[in-house]
Chains A and B, each alone.
Chain A
Amino acid sequence: GQQVMQIPQYQHVQEGEDFTTYCNSSTTLSNIQWYKQRPGGHPVFLIQLVKSGEVKKQKRLTFQFGEAKKNSSLHITATQTTDVGTYFCAGPENTDKLIFGTGTRLQVFP
């Protein structure tokens, strides 16, 4: 079945440093979604990318969808302590089922 991997598993950064997490799918995706889960919380939808090579920005967050629609990345510029959490990518196996990545846990030290 479809597998979605993310690297790194953990990332510790100093506040103000940049952060990037990479997502790779074993199959071509119709779209890629990104979620943020704060410690003890639930996944919160961040964004959906649909087009090959698409780049979207949300303030300090930049999301990219690869040309082959099998990989994606999330880059955070100048991290803040509020960015702490686990970032998941997720791709649909079909219209009904989301396959989540393994997640990257971000810790930001002040």
Chain B
Amino acid sequence: DAGVTQSPTHLIKTRGQQVTLRCSPKSGHDTVSWYQQALGQGPQFIFQYYEEEERQRGNFPDRFSGHQFPNYSSELNVNALLLGDSALYLCASSSMTGAGNTIYFGEGSWLTVV
């Protein structure tokens, strides 16, 4: 039973570039949330996807966008990268219809913007 998988694990980008991060939820889960975790801070909610639609959005600019595919996997896109976008990006998987609603986090994608 595969857990939450994210790719890539580490990447370095230059200011102004664009990045795409990918997430496959845990088997049986249909909901994907994305979080940004800056060094020394707690995760901050970016947005959540369910049924291929964005359900809720945190306090992040439009440079952050996402998508969910029919197989429940998801992408996070960040345009016009800034130095301050350097962080660990976490994908969280859950089931909107399942009991318990335990949230599982992937190992994250470490993004460094130089």
Contact = CB atoms under 8 A, between A and B. Distances in A.
Interface stretch (A61-69, A76-84, A99-107): A99-107
B66 interface: no
B33 interface: yes
Nearest to B102: A45
A103 B105 CA distance: 17
A59 interface: no
Interface size class of A (residues with CB under 8 A): 10 to 19
Contacts of A101: 42
A96 B33 contact: yes
Nearest to B107: A42
Contacts of B35: 98, 100
A48 B45 CA distance: 19
A99 B56 CA distance: 13
B71 interface: no
Given A96-B48, A96-B56, A97-B58, A42 B42 contact: no
A42 B105 CA distance: 7
A33 interface: yes
B25 interface: no
Interface string B32-67: 010100000111110010000001101000000000
23 contacts: A33-B103, A35-B105, A42-B88, A42-B90, A42-B107, A42-B108, A45-B105, A48-B102, A90-B42, A96-B33, A96-B55, A96-B56, A97-B45, A97-B56, A97-B58, A98-B33, A98-B103, A99-B45, A100-B35, A100-B42, A100-B44, A102-B42, A103-B42
Given A35-B105, A98-B35, 10 more contacts: A42-B106, A43-B90, A96-B33, A96-B48, A96-B55, A97-B56, A97-B58, A98-B92, A100-B42, A102-B42
